[in-house]
Chains A and B, each alone.
Chain A
Amino acid sequence: MNEVSAVQFSPDTVSLTVNGTARAYRGDGLRRLADVLRDDFGLKGTKIGCNAGDCGACTVLMDGAQICACLVPVGQCDGAAITSVEGLGGASRLSDLQRSFLAHGAAQCGICTPGMLMAASDLLTRSSSPSRSEVEDALGGVLCRCTGYQKIVEAVLDVARPAHIVRDGNVGARAAKVDGPAKLMGTERYGADGIPADALYVRAIRSPHPCAKFAPGNLEAFVAARPGLVRALTARDVPFNAYGIYPNIKDQPVLADGLARYRGDPLVAFVGTREAIEAIRDEEVPITYEPLPAIVGVDAAKAASPLHAGRDQNVLADGGVTCGNIEIVFGSAAHVAEVEYETSFVEHAYIEPEAGWAERKGDTLEVHVSTQNPFQHRDDLAQILNLPKQAVRLISSAVGGGFGGKLDLNVHPLVALAAWLCDKPVGYIYTRPESMAASTKRHPARVKAKAACDASGKLSAFWSHAELDTGAYASWGPTVANRVPVHAPGPYIVPHAKTRGTAYFTNCPPSGAFRGFGVPQSAIASEAAMDTLADALGTDWLDFRRRNALKAGDKTITGQVLDDSVGIVETIDAVEPYWRTWNNAAAVFNAGSPRVQQGVGIACSWYGIGNTSLSNPSEMKIGIAPDGRITLYCGAVDIGQGSNTVLTQIAADTLGIAASDIKLVMGDTALTLDAGKTSASRQTFVTGKACELAALDLKAKLAQVKDRAALRNMPVDNHGDVLTGHGRFDPPTTMLDEKGQGVPYACYGFATQVALVQVDLDFGTTKVLKIAAAHDVGKAVNPQQVEGQIHGGTAQGIGLALMEEYIPGRTENLHDYLIPTFGDMPEMICRIIEAPTQHGPYGAKGVGEPALISTAPAIFGGIYRATGVRVTKIPVLPHRLRAAIRAKEGTR
């Protein structure tokens, strides 16, 4: 110690320039620059996604060069010039680069956008007219989970000649995002950005075991020994310690009561100053464990004693559809294809980790969180805290990506409980490993499918069973188990079908909602069966699909007679030129390249928009103030997909006013009506219709007013409005009977994608070279955003197909868990098909989830064509594909 104390420490003050202004920092030089920028300098535009240099969200410039601000000690910034997103344009002005991003729709949720902008700025100072590959190299250190990177690359390439920004778009216009400027300037407030400076923080201690009995030790002594800690929380402190998506299945505890059911289950929590909370080392918390054998996989689940009382064989949900008589048909079919696939846990990997804060105000509680589900979360919190619903106000922050992962409660119960008990604002920001360990996942599915056709190539029968690993708690398991059998055959006429989905509890992370609710997993099997039948017939894969595709007036396997909004054939027609051209090109390429082979695959999909046979209404209101200002009170949360913009376009078009004249209030349970969850691709369709109806209602009321001047003399309501238009829409559906017959959805989105892939036979590596995607969206309210959804969904489909596999305890970070980067995206061609639905606003359906479903099966078809093998364990990692190729080649 003497040696250390003998040295002159330097420097105690760090002098740096931030966005051109001289700043002094006094304090610990080891603190991350990202934290200092955000918390000491108030520059919240720099986002923290991982604190490990894996995601690049915190990219800023240090003396002109891009760096991850989470990896630089502030002590190293002495004498340096730092530029963050706030230094790009200015408080109210967009730079050329920011304008180009806005014009191209390059920001979706916007959480990666500051990092992208800074990486691009670094490039543009080195190279004023960079090539596409230079852009990819320079921005390759920033991950985006929404955009599929295409529009970001275009925005950077186009910076010298930015495209026109459409500010006041009606329905059908490529309108710029209404919240785009805030996202581009770094002023948008996400879950972590609004936490008050004086807030306490809460932190859960999570189970390191997949299954264990546990007992907390002397937590009071632990708290007392650590200055800054305020209190501990255990299951005993939670008034009603259970929550869940389904009203009748509240099986997930806020804090586990003696039994940890998965690695990541929260056991106890601490409240204290941020510094004290961050100083906790998990292994020092006094908790004793008695590890128990863990249930891993559905076969183990069937044999194990129930994880939840009364769940025989650990079955959470079991649903199915039956029509016709498959046994007779299979017995006499000309061709039968049988396939089996197994998929893995997939992590949502939104770049914004879960975050939020709560504040008690007398007998009420205000909770600010990043959520896709504000009204249900308000109700759940009221139940957990034993408060009336009206006592809880939930306000959604901007959401930095969701994809289904922010439909479940995350930080909310603990910030709410701690704020209530401590009577202080309390914040919580998940670390990346915590986010990955604690949050829900895509269900691993073992899908067996069997399909038959007659000698003429007409599909005659389809059977499938999807066994789903639903993890430790119910979450959205029943939704997935019910949606899969309805969609299982794909968008084809199938007279005889029997399909089933079964979800089993295991000691794995809870599987929940993830873009597509199980349909992407199921489509992998059904589309492989279609390829196999076509091959048995000697028919072209595309022709086989078109011949069997659903058309208006056809009956689905649930007995629903489809109305006019069926565009599957048009989507097939739209991709046909690419299918033909790429197949020919691949054949030419392959003739000259024995060990690197190309192949083309195709997949069709359909997706019911909105909840399955469940009421899921949206209510919207639009008010006008005495001065004529219009406010859209919108309970629907924009998670990056663009509902704020789409709904504004619909309101503006219907009212006949400029979109920029509409003020938006989003996701505040005190100010807006319930517009349901941002899930099931329902916001454009369901909330959009409610929005149109609200606008029509307001328009009708305004027609009764003599002139605008008369508004000034009318009484105002508690929003300050004089007139309000209301709209409510609940898609017409019916319950499914015991055979799964009925009308589960009011309309369906349809899609066909074609993928050209290239496989290195010696390494088993796959590169997706091109994808052509045609999607029937009913009506593209904003074609630019539709393309963005298709790009982003396709990127997630590529991840699902080729690289994403969440393994508890082993891939809880963004360098072991791989999602696609700039360099993994193919050249993309989008074709938008509009087969309008009578139910939706201006004919619109939804595209968020349909965007993803066709991608993986199309890639697998391409791999099969390139290699002659099908890997049945997904993702198709190089070692899995190489093993299959080697088995086929019969060599080692």
Chain B
Amino acid sequence: MLGSRTPSGPEILPPRYARPRLLDEALALRHGGAQIIAGGTDFYPARVGRPLYDRDVPCVLDLTALAELRGIQDEAGCHRIGALTSWTEIAEAPLPAQFYCLQAVAREVGGRQIQNRGTIGGNLCNASPAADGVPALLALGAEIELLSRAGKRVLPLSEFIRGPRQIALRADEIASAVVIPKPKGAAHSSFVKLGARKYLVISIVMAAGYLDVVGSRIAEARIAVGACSPVAQRLPALEAALKGEVAISSLSRLVKPEHLAPLKPIDDVRASAEYREEAALTVVRRLLEELSA
């Protein structure tokens, strides 16, 4: 890359690409304003026909050599999924039934090439309203762990994603892990996706559901719907209606249109708002049929 001069000022250094092996180095670069790349599956598509370095970015920081940000750990009270963990690693990991929804997502994101490179942390930081990972992780009650030189913060996922492409990541922070609490009883989960073709399709509507069953009854339910609002939303009224129900009963009968009040679907090239509203109800009913089965 060539350097250039402003008419009167000093030489502006060209941006650099860095792939540090040490977390401290990465945090220092990030402190200096570096932009982040990991799996690259959102970074490059945003730069087709454009320079790879955005204006005023001193450095692109590649996180992928930081081994501590990769892999799934079974810890006391939670599972910790490193932000760099790929969809393929998630799909193929021996995880409990609690994670079925996330593993189903992992097999549906893009094609196998995307699943091999795309990371769970990147999916959250990209904050697409149609990100398949977000409803699943909302249903799993995930928190996100953020690192900076100032230390560690942990935010609930619902607070981390603030709007379309808007996240609560500070300019000096790196998302390091997704933390998923363990259930009280026996948990299982499911994921339903509606798209206009089989592979490589952005969802029209998708929903993920999680049931924590103690004895025969639902101790906790979390249901989240994506692509029907700026950020995927949980359905608290439906969750409340499910709580205390017998888990193997026909749960879809409990779903009422007013449960979907948190959703604010819009028209886009994939579907109309009216269609999404109705399809979301059907998707959630089918999700609960799967969860009851």
Contact = CB atoms under 8 A, between A and B. Distances in A.
Asked if A pairs with B, the answer is: yes
Interface of A: 1-4, 6-11, 28-32, 50-54, 56, 59, 62, 65-68, 70-73, 75-76, 78, 119, 122, 136-138, 140-143, 227-228, 278-279, 281-282, 431-434, 762-765, 802-803, 805, 807, 810-811, 813, 815-816, 818, 820-824, 877-879, 882-883, 886, 892
B28 A3 contact: yes
B-side interface mostly: loop
B13 interface: yes
B79 interface: no
B269 A816 contact: yes
Contact of B198 (A51, A70, A821, A883): A821
Nearest to A818: B197
B118 to A, nearest CB: 9
B196 A141 contact: no
Contacts of B41: 53, 68, 71
Given A67-B117, A811-B269, A140 B111 contact: yes
B194 A765 contact: yes
Contacts of A75: 17, 19, 62
B1 A28 contact: yes
Contact of A823 (B32, B110, B197): B197
Contacts of A823: 197-199
Contacts of A54: 45, 200
Contacts of B20: 7-8, 10
Contact of B32 (A4, A434, A811): A4
A291 to B, nearest CB: 22
A3 B113 contact: no
A414 B111 CA distance: 36
Given A76-B62, A76-B64, A878 B204 contact: yes
A763 B64 contact: no
Contacts of A892: 278
A824 B198 contact: yes
A242 B136 CA distance: 55
Given A282-B49, A813-B48, A815-B202, 16 more contacts: A1-B58, A51-B44, A53-B44, A53-B114, A59-B113, A75-B19, A140-B112, A141-B199, A227-B2, A803-B197, A816-B202, A820-B197, A823-B199, A824-B197, A877-B271, A879-B271
A73 B48 contact: no
A281 B50 contact: yes
A65 B39 CA distance: 14
B279 interface: yes
B25 interface: yes
B198 A822 contact: yes
A892 B39 CA distance: 43
B170 interface: no
Given A53-B41, A140-B111, A892-B278, A3 B32 contact: yes
A540 B20 CA distance: 71
Contacts of B272: 879, 883
A53 B40 CA distance: 10
Contacts of A67: 113, 116-117
Contacts of A1: 13, 32, 58
B113 to A, nearest CB: 5
Nearest to A815: B202
Contacts of A762: 279, 282
Interface string B1-38: 11010000000010011111100010011011110010
Contacts of B59: 4
Contacts of B151: none
A32 B50 CA distance: 13
Contacts of B190: none
Contact of A10 (B19, B110, B196, B276): B19
Contacts of A76: 19, 40, 62, 64
Contacts of B25: 7-8
B60 interface: yes
Contacts of A882: 275, 278-279
Contacts of B282: 762-763
B283 to A, nearest CB: 8
Interface in B195-245: 196-202, 204
B51 A281 contact: yes
B112 A122 contact: yes
Contacts of B17: 9, 28-30, 73, 75
A66 B16 CA distance: 28
B254 interface: no
A142 B117 contact: no
A67 B113 CA distance: 4
Given A30-B37, A71-B39, A72-B40, A141 B112 contact: yes
A142 B111 contact: yes
7 contacts: A1-B32, A52-B45, A53-B41, A75-B62, A76-B19, A78-B19, A813-B48
A278 B49 CA distance: 7
Nearest to A820: B197
Contacts of A2: 32
B279 A763 contact: yes
Q: A76, A764, A813 — which one has the most chain B CB atoms within 10 A of its CB?
A: A76
Q: A3, A30, A878 — which one has the most chain B CB atoms within 10 A of its CB?
A: A30
A330 to B, nearest CB: 37
Contacts of A7: 18, 20, 25, 28-29
Nearest to A806: B269
Interface in B130-154: none
Closest 3 CB pairs of A and B: A141-B111, A823-B198, A879-B275
A431 B62 CA distance: 25
A30 B197 contact: no
Contacts of A816: 202, 269-270
B213 to A, nearest CB: 28
Q: B2, B31, B34, B269 — which one has the most chain A CB atoms within 10 A of its CB?
A: B269
A496 B85 CA distance: 68
B198 to A, nearest CB: 2
Interface string B82-105: 000000100000000000000000
B123 to A, nearest CB: 13
Given A51-B44, A434-B49, A816-B202, A3 B29 contact: yes
Interface in B32-76: 32-34, 37, 39-41, 43-45, 48-53, 55, 58-60, 62, 64
Nearest to A227: B2
Contacts of A8: 20, 25
Given A71-B39, A71-B44, A816-B202, A433 B49 contact: yes
A35 B107 CA distance: 28
Given A4-B16, A54-B200, A823-B199, A431 B49 contact: yes
Contact of B200 (A59, A764, A821): A821
B18 A140 contact: no
